[in-house]
Structure 1
Amino acid sequence: MKKTFILTFLISCCLVRFSVFAQGILTAAAFFQTVSAEYGKIEDYEADVSIKAAKKVMEGRVSFKRPDLLRIDFSKPENQVICFNGDLLTIYLPESAAILNQNVQSSGTGNAANLATAQGLSLMSRYYSVAYESGQEPVALDEGSNEMVVKLVLSRRNTSEAFRYINLAVQPETKLIRRIEAITPQNEKFQFDFSNYSLNQGISDQRFIYDPPTSANNYNNFLFTEQ
């Protein structure tokens, strides 16, 4: 009887210790859901954004309003603008004095700029599997950086997705996305860095109505124009 009691006691202690340990484990999928839930509370936001692609760096201020209104006013290149009003994508290229217009029927994970939204995160959870890059504990954003983030690696479930991998760096306290790295099947990388967020400021729809300079040349449906 005494041995049975001691054995039962030891097993109970082990189970309690394991339960406490397990409560401290947050799977990558569960952490991703907390990020998605946080973005579900956001009606609009503005943030500084830096975009790196093909060794080119662009900088500006991004504005977003649910469900899919988006605008980026660039300081580098100066005066360049990208604006999406839900139906029409407009890109103003001041260096070329060109206005590119494209009717867009839908948006999804094929557009890296849309990933930092509730809709983009929902699509990612559906079409990508989620894992920690190095564990659930925050790590340095870059080598030698004092900024700590949780890093996730998303791998596409099928080959129809535009990006083979999507790497996310998330601020652990706010659950806001600090960096997105989207890698195509051709190993092209698009990096988006977000900082200085302003959330739920009541941005007007007028913010997403862009009137480009009348002196610029218009190119409509440029994505499907034959060269």
Structure 2
Amino acid sequence: MNKRIFFITVLLTTILIRPPLFFTQELVTAEKYLNDLSKAYGEINDYKADITITQGDSVMKGVLFYKKPNLLRINFTKPKDQVLVVNGESLIIYIPEHSVIMKQNLRRRGQETLASLASKEGLTQLKRNYSVAYEIGPEPVPLDEQSKLNVIKLKFEWRSPDEAFRQLNISVTEDRLIRRIIGVTRNYEEIQFDFTNIDINQNIPDARFTNYEPPPDANVFDNFLFKPEN
């Protein structure tokens, strides 16, 4: 459970809080494609989407809320009533099945990084940490064999084993929205995120993230990912 939560958290903060990848009509190299993203992403202040997270035989479903620069919340429907919140200062995960609350204070350095990722500087960091190429080519292709949706597919490979994911495959719709993210971990475990029913710039209030209060009678585990800074 902890490992799955770790991968979910890393992938969300790596991709969702970084600029998403947008399609342009001009045929450009993958690197040029990346260089053009920051300006386009600056127009998205928040969004809501249905999310499905698949890892092996495990499938999680819910509704995701994101607000830049670093606010994130998932209200899960599967597992029912589970919640994941990043409120700008800490990560909170409520697991009702076990009556457990898992909290992690965000490091100051990490917080600064998260706050700057949805920007030109954040895009530069992504380019620095991963090499990028088109998975197939610059033209739209079907999302998968069963899908009628066409997407641009990009492949990122780590430049250093310090990254949590050795490879990221990202599918972007022609209307400039991320539809699917596939991450491959150091140990070649695969986790897939699918985003549907995406609504952008919904004026989501900060309170959606900052006012979340888990049940007071649940057991609390603090700093389950890493030790807090002094």
Q: Is the 8 A contact 1:62 1:73 kept in 2?
A: yes
- Helix, strand or coil: the match of 1:153? strand
- Helix, strand or coil: the match of 1:222? coil
Structural mapping, 1:114-153, within 5 Å: 118=118, 121-153=123-155
Instruction: State the 1:69 CA deviation.
Output: 0.6
Distance 1:210-1:182 versus aligned 2 partners, 3 A rule = same
Q: AA paired with 1:183?
A: V
The match for 1:52 is 54
The match for 1:166 is 168
Q: Is the 8 A contact 2:179 2:195 kept in 1?
A: yes
Alignment of 1:177 onto 2:182: no
- Tell me, in whole angstroms, the C-alpha distance in 2 between the residues paired with 1:195 and 1:35: 21
Q: Is the 8 A contact 1:150 1:171 kept in 2?
A: yes
Alignment of 1:100 onto 2:107: no
The match for 2:13 is none
Instruction: State the 1:38 CA deviation.
Output: 2.4
Task: Figure out how many residues of one structure are paired with residues of the other and give that number.
Answer: 196
Distance 1:224-1:29 versus aligned 2 partners, 3 A rule = closer
Distance 1:122-1:53 versus aligned 2 partners, 3 A rule = farther
The match for 2:202 is 201
Using the size of structure 1 for normalisation, the TM-score is 0.79
Instruction: State the 1:198 CA deviation.
Output: 1.2
Instruction: State the 1:164 CA deviation.
Output: 0.7
Q: Is the 8 A contact 2:132 2:157 kept in 1?
A: yes
- Tell me, in whole angstroms, the C-alpha distance in 2 between the residues paired with 1:83 and 1:33: 30
Q: AA paired with 1:191?
A: Q
The match for 1:5 is none
Using the size of structure 2 for normalisation, the TM-score is 0.78
Unmatched 5+ residue regions in structure 1?
1-22
Which shifted more, 55-64 or 119-128? 119-128
Alignment of 1:190 onto 2:158: no
Instruction: State the 1:122 CA deviation.
Output: 4.6
Residue among 157, 160, 170 paired with 2:159 = 157
- Helix, strand or coil: the match of 1:30? helix
Which shifted more, 152-161 or 23-32? 23-32
- Tell me, in whole angstroms, the C-alpha distance in 1 between the residues paired with 2:31 and 2:78: 36
Q: Is the 8 A contact 1:34 1:175 kept in 2?
A: no
- Helix, strand or coil: the match of 2:97? coil
Q: Is the 8 A contact 2:44 2:200 kept in 1?
A: yes
- Tell me, in whole angstroms, the C-alpha distance in 2 between the residues paired with 1:198 and 1:108: 27
Distance 1:51-1:24 versus aligned 2 partners, 3 A rule = closer
Q: Render the CA deviation track for 1:28-81: whole Å, top value 9, x for unaligned.
A: 122233444322221111111111123211011111111101100001111000
Unmatched 5+ residue regions in structure 2?
1-24
The match for 2:225 is 223
Tell which has more relative contact order, 1 or 2 (C-alpha 8 A, sep 6+): 2
Distance 1:122-1:171 versus aligned 2 partners, 3 A rule = farther
- Tell me, in whole angstroms, the C-alpha distance in 1 between the residues paired with 2:180 and 2:112: 18
Distance 1:178-1:67 versus aligned 2 partners, 3 A rule = same
- Tell me, in whole angstroms, the C-alpha distance in 2 between the residues paired with 1:160 and 1:169: 24
Q: Is the 8 A contact 2:89 2:111 kept in 1?
A: no
- Tell me, in whole angstroms, the C-alpha distance in 1 between the residues paired with 2:222 and 2:166: 30
The match for 1:15 is none
